[in-house]
């Protein structure tokens, strides 16, 4: 039985990855920061199936201890300060976790000394002010946020350790992906939660920032499969994971409101400059041809189905809460 260690296991991707690895017969461990009240909402259905170990990407020795306890065959580093807007408010903390945290993990693996495959969660936000469209593994990076800059450090230090120390270390440059487990502070979940509340009469209006930004949106359960496939290859490499389609926030709103029978959503949506980024990323569109060819991976869930799943999930959740 293979052992996997997932950092960020209580997040959206981490919990979906745990589901996948358990289905494949793995023994799954989650690295979790010490907290008086752990937030395990996304993993509550897995409490008796996974094991938690204490560790923190800002503390080198805690990572070393995790590796000694778990003795993992595979490590998936998904932990991060993952909210782009917040990275402008906490740039130093974001850089410490998203950048130096990757270095600490790689150093811990190197010192651990046993064969361990490593996956690093990179991001399309590294492309930022895009230099070409669509973006692939060879597109120059131009990050537009402290989040993107920190992730770029994590991306390059992973590549550096792979080439310097012959480590099996991969990065997945994942474009935007969502699910019913996405945090409500993210714009996609803010939309679906707001639409569900409007549908149930709990809210009158939804306040957002930039409605014109365009993203390449996929479904998280599809994307975690790509992470797993990367670590099953004979040779480590880096891969763009995307749908190859781009949609605007307005199109996301179209789909979400249509799910509750509303086609004209203008009167339900307002804008507030407080939700605008200091430096915006206007459009992201990924070319995942390499993943299609080498990993045999393709997305399974359409944009419309993704939005529908999220709206339906929020309606069901809220109905249960108000019973």
Domain span holding position 253? 183-215+246-284+302-322
Six-digit token string for 317: 């959740």
The H or E element that residue 255 is part of is helix 249-258
Whether 157 and 204 map to the same domain: the answer is no
Whether 70 and 207 map to the same domain: the answer is no
Whether 147 and 253 map to the same domain: the answer is no
Query: Looking at the 3D structure of the chain, how many domains does it have?
Result: 2
pLDDT (mean) for 18-44: 93
Whether 126 and 159 map to the same domain: the answer is yes
The pTM (predicted TM-score) of the whole model is 0.94
Domain with residue 23: its CATH number is 3.40.50.720
Residue 298 φ/ψ, nearest 5 degrees = -145, 150
Six-digit token string for 98: 């998203």
Whether 101 and 136 map to the same domain: the answer is yes
> Is residue 61 domain-resident?
yes
Which residues are designated catalytic?
123, 125, 147
**CA–CA dist 38, 50 (Å, integer):** 15
**CA–CA dist 118, 107 (Å, integer):** 12
Count how many Cα atoms sit within 13 Å of the Cα of residue 86 in the half-sphere of its side chain: 11
pLDDT at residue 38 is higher than 90: no
Whether 98 and 226 map to the same domain: the answer is yes
Whether 209 and 144 map to the same domain: the answer is no
Q: Report pLDDT digits (tens) over 74-112.
A: 999 999 999 998 999 999 999 999 999 999 999 999 999
What percent of the chain is predicted at pLDDT more than 90? 91
């Amino acid at each position: 039985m293979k052992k996997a260690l997932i950092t960020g296991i209580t997040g959206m991707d981490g919990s979906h990855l745990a589901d996948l690895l358990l289905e494949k017969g793995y023994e799954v461990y989650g690295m979790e920061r010490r907290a008086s009240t752990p937030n395990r909402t996304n993993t509550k259905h897995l409490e008796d199936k996974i094991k938690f170990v204490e560790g923190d990407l800002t503390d080198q020795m805690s990572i070393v201890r995790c590796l000694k306890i778990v003795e993992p065959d595979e490590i998936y580093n998904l932990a991060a300060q993952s909210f782009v807007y917040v990275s402008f408010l906490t740039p130093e903390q974001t850089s410490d976790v998203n950048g130096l945290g990757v270095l600490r993990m790689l150093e811990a693996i190197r010192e651990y000394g046993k064969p361990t495959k490593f996956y690093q969660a990179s991001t399309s936000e590294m492309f930022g002010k895009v230099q070409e469209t669509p973006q692939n593994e060879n597109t120059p990076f131009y990050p537009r946020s402290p989040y993107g800059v920190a992730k770029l450090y994590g991306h390059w230090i992973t590549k550096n350790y792979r080439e310097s120390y012959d480590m099996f270390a991969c990065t997945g440059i994942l474009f935007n992906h969502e699910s019913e487990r996405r945090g409500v502070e993210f714009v996609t979940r803010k939309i679906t939660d707001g639409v569900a509340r409007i549908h149930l009469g709990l809210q009158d209006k939804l306040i957002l920032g930039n409605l014109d930004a365009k993203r390449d949106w996929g479904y998280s359960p599809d994307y975690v499969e790509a992470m797993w496939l990367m670590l099953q290859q004979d040779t480590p490499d880096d891969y763009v994971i995307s749908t190859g389609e781009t949609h605007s926030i307005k199109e996301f709103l179209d789909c979400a409101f249509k799910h509750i029978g509303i086609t004209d959503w203008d009167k339900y949506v307002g804008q507030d400059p407080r939700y605008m980024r200091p430096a915006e990323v206007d459009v992201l569109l990924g070319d995942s041809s390499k993943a299609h060819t080498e990993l045999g991976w393709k997305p399974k869930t359409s944009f419309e189905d993704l939005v529908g799943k999220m709206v339906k999930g929020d309606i069901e959740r809220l109905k249960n809460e108000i019973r």
